[in-house]
């Protein structure tokens, strides 16, 4: 579904009823049509008609709320009284408003007629309204965009706000589940979740799955389905250490995990891979986790709630791109880059660099050569992700609530490394010393969500809409 923008536009009707400018509404409508035409290239637009008084503004606000638009755009085609703007805003509920400070003509001239002048007068109320809102609606957050009706940058900023508002709206409808809980294998206090605070700030829903749910699901998977996926894995990927028995177990786990997530209607899942999951189910469900990521589910390891919510934000802002669960593992000062990723199920197979073939490995911590009857420790996808711009995001639980930590840069184009996990080599926009110094100064969670897109501007707007503090790491 396309993001939906609701449009309020108009002005006080006395201008054309009492001052002899009877053609002003028709001329203004041409400007409004130009704006709608530009927006419709990417968004659905709800425009209930021209507003000339408080009653019109209130009616339009009600319509936009009923239509469940993602964002409300306020374009003052001519002067709009504060009472009209407030009547409109008070009907929106939780719909995020954006004030578009624009005008009909691109410039003024001595030849402008009175009607032409009417197309400029919205400047007065767009200057006035922010100050009014600070006094009368001091807690209201709203966006602001300046520029001409057809300016590329103005339309880009409106689009960024729209995608950010839509992301916040979808986040409130998203469902995350721990499987079965946060990691308790190591004392990683930075990832200790605060479920109540996260629900309060983002409205996300949180649930729990259990190891027994996965075990029961694995028992129900027909052998014919396991055979089919096993064959697919051998055809698509290069199998290194795992035996056929291990690959079959990975396939059975994958099918069961995918069906469990679908049954529970989850948007994100945080899997704690140990210590309980491995001995009870046989191995880490890394193949299933990678396949879920390819299906649009955000997956984190070690039961990480913060990285999962970060991933949901990045996924929506990037148009549904898969999310890589990522942490810093090694740095290269000479080339100003960082090797990162996470063992097992941290990225979708579709994220692999083109013209490379993903491998399936055993966990990097165990050498299976010459160890008959070794326990199952996992079938781990190994590949490097594609090059290009990337955005990294993590949510850090500060003293006053969750805060965003944002980084931008590029995924370095290089050959896959034999590291036994999915990996991205990240080059930040600034020197490594400054990058890590900022982390030390602000505080971060060591797990990040990474997407192959530059959506930093949209992330900043999401933070503003949520009222969440954001610190730039790059």
Residues of the chain with CATH 3.40.50.10940: 4-171
Give the right CATH number for 4-171 from 3.40.50.10940, 1.10.3720.10, 2.60.260.20, 3.30.70.600.
3.40.50.10940
Q: What is the pLDDT of residue 122?
A: 84
Element (H, E) at 289: helix 286-294
- Tell me the pairing of strands 422-428 and 359-361: unpaired
Q: Going by C-beta distance under 8 Å and a sequence separation of 6 or more, which residues neighbour residue 439? A: 405, 473
Q: Is 379 within 8 Å of 288 (Cβ atoms)? A: no
Q: Taking the alpha carbons of 433, 438, 443, 446 in that order, is the dihedral positive or negative?
A: negative
Alpha-carbon separation of residue 335 from 327, 338, 430, 467 (angstroms): 18, 9, 12, 37
Structure tokens at 110: 């001595």
Listed in order, the ranges of the chain carrying CATH 3.40.275.10 are 175-472
Q: 127: burial class by Cβ within 10 Å (0-12, 13-18, 19+)?
A: exposed
Which residue stretches of 392-455 are H helix? 432-442
Query: What does the CA dihedral 132, 135, 139, 144 come to, rounded to 10 degrees?
Result: 30
Q: What's the fold here for domain 175-472?
A: L-fucose Isomerase; Chain A, domain 2 (3.40.275)
Contacts of 263 (CB under 8 A, 6+ apart): none
Residues sharing a CB contact under 8 Å with residue 434, sequence separation 6 or more, in sequence order = none
CA distances from 465 to 60, 89, 94, 468 (A): 22, 15, 10, 8
Sign of CA dihedral 267, 273, 278, 280: negative
Q: Which residue has the tokens 């491995």?
A: 278
pTM to 2 decimal places: 0.94
392 closest CA partner among 278, 279, 473? 473
Residue for token pair 């100003």: 336
State how far Cα 51 lies from the chain centre. Answer: 34
Q: Are strands 422-428 and 380-384 parallel, antiparallel or unpaired?
A: parallel
Q: Could you read off the pLDDT tens digit of each residue along the chain, which spans 474 residues?
A: 799 999 999 998 887 887 777 888 888 999 999 999 999 999 999 999 999 999 999 999 999 999 999 999 999 999 999 999 999 999 999 999 999 999 888 778 777 677 787 788 888 999 999 999 999 999 999 999 999 998 999 999 999 999 999 999 999 999 999 999 887 777 788 888 899 999 999 999 999 999 999 999 999 999 999 999 999 999 999 999 899 999 999 999 999 999 999 999 999 999 997 777 888 888 889 999 999 999 999 999 999 999 999 999 999 999 999 999 999 999 999 999 999 999 889 999 999 999 999 999 988 766 555 555 555 668 999 999 999 999 999 999 999 999 999 999 999 999 999 999 999 999 999 999 999 999 999 999 999 999 999 999 999 999 999 999 999 999
Q: Report yes or no: 180 and 276 within 8 Å, Cβ to Cβ.
A: yes
């Amino acid at each position: 579904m396309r993001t939906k923008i609701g449009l309020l536009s108009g002005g006080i009707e006395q201008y054309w009823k009492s001052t002899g400018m009877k053609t002003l509404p028709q001329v203004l409508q041409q400007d409004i049509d130009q704006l709608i035409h530009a927006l419709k290239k990417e968004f659905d637009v709800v425009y209930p008609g021209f507003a000339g008084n408080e009653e019109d503004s209130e009616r339009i606000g009600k319509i936009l709320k009923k239509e469940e638009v993602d964002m409300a755009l306020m374009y003052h085609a001519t002067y709009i009284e504060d009472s009209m703007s407030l009547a409109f805003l008070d009907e929106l509920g939780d719909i995020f408003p954006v004030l578009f400070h624009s005008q009909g003509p691109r410039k003024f001239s001595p030849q402008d007629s009175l009607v032409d002048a009417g197309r400029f007068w919205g400047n007065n109320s767009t200057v006035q309204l922010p100050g009014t809102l600070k006094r009368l609606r001091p807690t209201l957050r709203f966006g602001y965009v300046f520029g001409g009706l057809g300016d590329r940058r103005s339309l880009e900023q409106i689009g960024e706000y729209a995608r950010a508002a839509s992301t916040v709206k979808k986040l409130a409808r998203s469902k995350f589940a721990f499987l079965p809980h946060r990691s308790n294998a190591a004392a990683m206090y930075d990832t200790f979740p605060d479920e109540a605070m996260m629900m309060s700030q983002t409205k996300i829903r949180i649930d729990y799955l259990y190891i027994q749910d996965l075990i029961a699901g694995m028992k129900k998977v027909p052998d014919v389905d396991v055979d089919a996926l096993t064959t697919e894995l051998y055809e698509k990927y290069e199998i290194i250490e795992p035996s056929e028995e291990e690959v079959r177990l990975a396939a059975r786990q994958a099918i069961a995990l995918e069906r469990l997530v679908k049954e529970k209607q989850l948007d994100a899942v945080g899997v704690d891979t140990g210590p309980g999951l491995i001995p009870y189910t046989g191995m880490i469900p890394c193949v299933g986790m990678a396949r879920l990521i390819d299906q649009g589910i955000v997956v984190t390891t070690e039961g990480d709630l913060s990285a999962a919510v970060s991933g949901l934000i990045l996924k929506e802002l990037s148009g549904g791109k898969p999310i890589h669960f990522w942490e810093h593992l090694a740095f290269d000062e000479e080339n100003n880059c960082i090797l990162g990723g996470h063992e097992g199920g941290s990225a979708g197979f579709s994220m692999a660099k083109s013209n490379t073939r993903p491998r399936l490995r055993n966990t990097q911590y165990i050498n299976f050569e010459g160890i008959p009857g070794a326990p199952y420790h996992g079938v781990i996808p190994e590949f490097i992700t594609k090059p290009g711009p990337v955005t990294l995001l993590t949510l850090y639980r500060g003293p006053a609530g969750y805060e965003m930590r944002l980084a931008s840069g590029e995924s370095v184009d290089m050959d896959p490394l034999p590291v036994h996990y999915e990996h991205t080599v990240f080059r930040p926009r600034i020197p490594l010393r400054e990058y890590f110094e900022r982390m030390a100064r602000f505080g971060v969670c060591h797990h990040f969500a990474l997407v192959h897109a530059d959506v930093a501007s949209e992330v900043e707007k999401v933070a503003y809409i949520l009222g969440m503090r954001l610190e730039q790491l790059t």
